[in-house]
Amino acid sequence: MDIPVYFSQKAFILHHGCVLAVRHNGADTWEVPGGRLKSGENLDEQIIREVVEETGIQITPGLPFALWKWAIDDGPNFPGTIVAVARVCKAHTSEITLSEHALIDSLEEVCWIPLEKITETPWQKDLRPALDTFLQMIPGFA
């Protein structure tokens, strides 16, 4: 059986000393906004769409800085793999607006996490290496 592979992008956004984070219903860990590419969508359009859908925040996509994959389970007969790219993105505003799509995506909470609380925040395990790389790119962050 062929196992489907999906492409995803994650937006790492630093704005006024905070990182934009999302948490799904029932999850006790955080991640950054992003999601799967739709057929026919270009890469910049996709990451802009995902961030707007999940947070209401307009961004300018930047360069990729990490690549990783993880297994998913989309139901009993639908295993798959996500291949993800992390990109540094610039926010045009800090005002969060949860859309109807955020509720469909089962997002429970969206917030800006201050850099001084980043290391004590429980992050999704698969995201952690990309987050560590992102933090190393921030001048003065130790």
Structural domain boundaries enclosing 92: 5-136
CB atoms within 10 A of CB 55: 27
Three-class DSSP category at 54: helix
Residue 25: is it exposed, middle or buried by C-beta count within 10 angstroms (0-12/13-18/19+)? Answer: exposed
CATH of the domain at 58: 3.90.79.10
Q: Is residue 86 one of the residues assigned to a domain?
A: yes
Number of folded domains that form the chain: 1
- Length of the chain counted residue by residue: 142
Q: pLDDT digit of tens for each residue in the chain (142 aa)?
A: 678 899 999 999 999 999 999 998 889 999 999 999 999 999 999 999 999 999 999 999 999 999 999 888 766 666 789 999 999 999 999 999 877 766 666 888 999 999 999 999 999 999 999 999 999 999 887 6
Contacts of 72 (CB under 8 A, 6+ apart): 6, 79, 80, 81, 82
Distance of CA 44 to the CA centre of its chain: 14
142 falls within a domain? no
